[in-house]
């Protein structure tokens, strides 16, 4: 496949805004259907994978392989009683889950699913639309999702949902800062904020010389910008409230966070928005760092790998792989404490990201460096990032007073403190029972010695 045909397949900003109305409507329906079906299958996929990891079957009764289990759960939620708290703000209480779902689905409008194809004689990109600041549209949609959570907790008219909403919003805003700085590295390298332009910039492969051997390396920014990719993925997991960062609605909590007072379809919309956000952010990661709809090596050895409708298969495969990583993290890692989670975002990811952007800006100012030298520096930066994450100095532990010092410092007339080692002394009844059994044990022991 020659370079001229490759350039003809890559969409540009000039290719948008020329489609007939029915084609635009079809693209919108396709993007919405993709988000909805991917979410329904994602719930089933998560249950099956976690069941496999936990050595149990998972859903397997409703439909073949349990494929209709998610649909059955949705119908069950639709027929449940919709409870409205007396102190709730009815209008905001209704629109809060809707805001979360709409914000997550809207981000799919600027995601390129494939190159230009012919649909009923019209050559059109497999993308709803694209603008020169498309990535900022994705960040805006992600920021709007915070409003749904905050308003959902505030409009419930209850204390626990309000606290859960505030905690969840602080969590999402904290990791959104690190995620935005990771995308800055992509802007600097690609020279554009258009999603189709970023995918096109990752088309050219490079030759990396290691030990005298020339190895083909894809132009994916996950390799060229490895520290940004690692930080972006961690921030993405934290912002979507997925394990091990699922603190707002964790099983260890007393209540389900900001959606405690929600039931029926409103609760289903909140759950749907979480899974839609997971699929959407997987698609964003694929677009920004994994080459978008382009085939990975060695599939690229086939000349027709990036032609026609085949790129949609590679795109969906990358998204499914990232969703699997989401599920894998849930079934593997333990949940963090909230203070550890916030400290990791502000004191670890954010400073490392700022230093990496400064290093990348310095590398871009050196024009005579070869690509393999930049990859070498990137690998060194990734190693420094890993070491800094593992050996970051923790908070110094304060010396704990001894039990006797605690007992002497308690106010006069207060209740006695429990023992520090949590070994409660035996009760008088236990002492009496042990004393009654000791003579029998002594007699039995003497008889056995005599025998």
Give the residue extent of every domain in the chain.
Answer: 18-390
Contact (CB, 8 A) for 110 and 127: yes
Position 4 scores a pLDDT of: 41
pLDDT for residue 411: 67
* pLDDT higher than threshold 80 for residue 9: no
Tell me which of 172-181, 195-204, 244-253, 262-271 is least confident: 244-253
pLDDT of residue 415: 63
Q: Is the pTM of this model over 0.85?
A: no
Mean predicted confidence (pLDDT) in 207-231? 68
pLDDT score of 12: 79
- 242 C-beta neighbours (distance < 10 Å), count: 19
- 439 pLDDT band, cuts 50/70/90, is low
The HSE-up count of residue 445 (CA atoms within 13 Å, CB side) is 6
Phi, psi of 135 (to 5 degrees): -65, -30
Higher pLDDT among residues 109 and 416, named by residue: 109
Mean pLDDT of 98-119: 89
Distance between CA atoms of 286 and 198, rounded to whole angstroms? Answer: 11
Average pLDDT over residues 272-295: 90
Instruction: Residue 338: count other Cβ atoms within 10 Å of its Cβ.
Output: 15
């Amino acid at each position: 496949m020659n370079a001229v045909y490759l350039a003809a397949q890559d969409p540009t900003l000039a290719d948008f805004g020329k489609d007939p109305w029915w084609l635009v409507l079809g693209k919108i329906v396709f993007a919405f259907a993709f988000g909805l079906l991917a979410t329904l299958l994602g719930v089933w996929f998560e249950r099956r994978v976690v069941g496999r990891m936990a050595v149990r079957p998972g859903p397997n009764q409703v439909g073949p392989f349990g494929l209709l289990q998610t649909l059955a759960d949705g119908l069950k939620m639709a027929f449940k009683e919709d409870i409205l708290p007396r102190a709730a703000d009815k209008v905001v209480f209704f629109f809060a889950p809707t805001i979360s779902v709409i914000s997550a689905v809207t981000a799919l409008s600027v995601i390129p699913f494939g190159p230009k194809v012919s649909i009923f004689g019209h050559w059109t990109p497999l993308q709803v639309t694209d603008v020169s600041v498309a990535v900022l549209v994705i960040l805006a949609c992600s920021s709007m999702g915070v409003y749904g959570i905050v308003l959902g907790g505030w409009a419930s008219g209850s204390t626990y949902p309000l606290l859960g909403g505030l905690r969840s919003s602080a969590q999402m805003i904290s990791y959104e800062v690190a995620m935005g700085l990771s995308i800055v590295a992509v802007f600097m390298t690609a020279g554009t904020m258009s999603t189709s332009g970023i995918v096109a910039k990752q088309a050219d492969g490079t030759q990396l010389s290691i030990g005298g051997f020339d190895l083909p390396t894809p132009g994916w920014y996950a390799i060229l910008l490895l520290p940004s990719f690692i930080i972006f993925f961690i921030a993405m997991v934290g912002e979507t409230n997925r394990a091990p960062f699922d603190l707002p609605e964790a099983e260890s909590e007393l209540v389900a966070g900001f959606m405690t007072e929600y039931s029926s379809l409103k609760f289903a919309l909140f759950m749907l928005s979480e899974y839609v956000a997971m699929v959407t952010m997987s698609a964003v990661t694929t677009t920004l760092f994994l080459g978008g709809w382009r085939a990975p090596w060695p599939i690229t050895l086939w000349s027709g790998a990036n032609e026609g409708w085949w790129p949609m298969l590679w795109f969906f495969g990358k998204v499914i792989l990232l969703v699997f990583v989401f599920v894998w993290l849930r079934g593997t890692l333990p949940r963090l404490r909230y203070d550890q989670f916030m400290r990791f975002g502000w004191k670890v990811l954010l400073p490392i990201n700022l230093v990496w952007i400064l290093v990348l800006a310095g590398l871009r100012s050196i024009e005579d460096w070869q690509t393999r030298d930049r990859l070498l520096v990137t690998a060194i930066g990734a190693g420094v990032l890993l070491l800094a994450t593992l050996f970051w100095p923790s908070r110094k532990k304060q010396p704990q007073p001894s039990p006797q010092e605690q007992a002497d410092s308690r106010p006069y007339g207060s209740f006695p403190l429990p023992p520090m080692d949590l070994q409660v002394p035996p009760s008088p009844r236990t002492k009496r029972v042990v004393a009654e059994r000791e003579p029998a044990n002594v007699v039995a022991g003497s008889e056995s010695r005599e025998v």
